[in-house]
């Protein structure tokens, strides 16, 4: 419940920011991405081991449908908050900035990686781990600087493109800026491949898993 409240607060603050500075759509998106890292990391194995999903898992539905339901339920609040910000930006005459594809790729990267990475972990643990890794990287300035050099110029070749795609996948917040690499179709395509691979691994995890019961904590 409090996650919905956090998203609502984030949208309100984002709306206020856009009202004051309609070009600053990225700060509104940034706070939503941060919340989405935690919200999409909704966990699955722990709840399944307590039998909470028994009616769904034993109800004859395909496991892929169940996985899709989990993905949608986990990511929908963040996606909805994102779309509200897009609408507000459009209403203020900045739809072009808000609707750029690389920004949307940032949202789906965060959503799928946090969801799939969190399936075997407690709720929000994947988001916490990811945030910790990013914070640690930010504090070790050298590594971040290396990444920024990679994404600040258009990729000169496939190697550069893959390096940029990896940087965006590890830190999707970089896609919120106007870095030249974010507009490169090879880079964005590689990141979409990451999304598909991660989502597939999540579907496979739910599909192949065994569901033993543990005593509820």
Partner 1 sequence: MSALLSVNGVVKKYDGKRVLSGVTFSAGKGEAIGVIGPNGAGKTTLLRIVMGLLRADGGWVRLDGEPVASALARVRAAYFAGESTLPPAVRARAWRSLFHDADERGENRPFRLLSRGTRQLMGLRTLFSVSGIRLFVLDEPWEGLDPDASRWLTEAMRARRDAGVTILVSSHRLHDLAGVCDRYVFLDHGFATIVAGEALARNGVVTGDGLLAAFDAVRGRAR
Least distance to partner 1, CB of residue 63, Å: 9
User: Tell me, what DSSP letter sits at residue 123?
Assistant: T
Give the containing element (helix H, strand E) for 136: helix 125-139
Angle, CA 29 vertex, CA 127 and CA 170 arms, to 5° = 45
Q: What are phi and psi of 134, to 5 degrees?
A: -65, -40
Query: How many residues sit in the footprint of partner 1 (CB under 8 A)?
Result: 19
Reading the block at residue 206, the tokens are 């739910």
Shortest Å, Cβ 138 to partner 1: 34
Q: Which CB sits closer to partner 1, 189 or 207?
A: 207
CA-angle at 115, arms to 199 and 46, nearest 5°: 120
**Complex with partner 1: residue 42 or 112, whichever CB lies closer:** 42
Residue 72 binding partner 1, by CB under 8 A? no
Binder of partner 1 out of 23, 54, 73, 141 (CB under 8 A): 54
Query: Minimum Å distance from CB 211 to partner 1?
Result: 4
Q: Which is nearer to partner 1, 1 or 139 (CB)?
A: 1
- Tell whether residue 51 is a contact of partner 1 (CB under 8 A): yes
**Closest CB to partner 1 among 69 and 177?**
69
Residue 47 binds partner 1, judged by CB under 8 A: yes
Determine whether 12 is exposed, middle or buried from the number of CB atoms within 10 Å of its CB (0-12, 13-18, 19+): exposed
Asked whether position 56 contacts partner 1 by CB under 8 A, the answer is: yes
DSSP annotation of 30: H
* CA atoms of 164 and 113, how far apart (whole Å): 17
Q: Considering only 43-51, 106-114, 136-144, 198-206, which stretch makes contact with partner 1 by CB under 8 A? A: 43-51
Judged by beta carbon, residue 55 or residue 142, the one nearer partner 1 is 55
Q: By CB under 8 A, tell whether 213 contacts partner 1.
A: yes
> How far is the C-alpha of 4 from the C-alpha of 6, rounded, in Å?
5
Q: DSSP label at 13?
A: H
Enumerate binding residues for partner 1 (CB under 8 A). 47, 50-52, 54-62, 210-213, 215-216
């Amino acid at each position: 419940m409090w996650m919905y409240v956090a998203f609502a607060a984030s949208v309100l603050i984002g709306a206020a920011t856009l009202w004051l500075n309609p070009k600053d759509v990225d700060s509104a998106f940034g706070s939503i991405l941060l919340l989405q890292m935690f919200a999409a990391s909704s966990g699955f194995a722990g709840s399944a081991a307590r039998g909470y999903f028994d009616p769904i898992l034993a109800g004859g539905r395909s496991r892929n449908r169940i996985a899709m339901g989990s993905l949608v339920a986990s990511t929908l609040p963040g996606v909805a908050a994102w779309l509200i910000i897009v609408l507000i930006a459009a209403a203020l005459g900045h739809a072009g900035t808000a609707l750029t594809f690389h920004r949307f790729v940032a949202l789906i990267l965060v959503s799928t990686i946090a969801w799939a990475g969190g399936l075997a972990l407690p709720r929000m643990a994947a988001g916490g781990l990811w945030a910790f890794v990013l914070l640690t990287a930010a504090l070790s300035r050298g590594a971040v600087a290396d990444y920024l050099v990679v994404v600040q110029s258009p990729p000169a070749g496939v190697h550069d493109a893959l390096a940029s795609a990896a940087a965006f996948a590890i830190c999707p917040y970089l896609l919120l800026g106007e870095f030249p690499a974010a507009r490169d179709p090879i880079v964005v395509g590689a990141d979409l491949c990451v999304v598909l691979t991660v989502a597939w691994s999540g579907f496979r995890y739910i599909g192949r898993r065994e569901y033993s019961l543990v005593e509820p904590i």
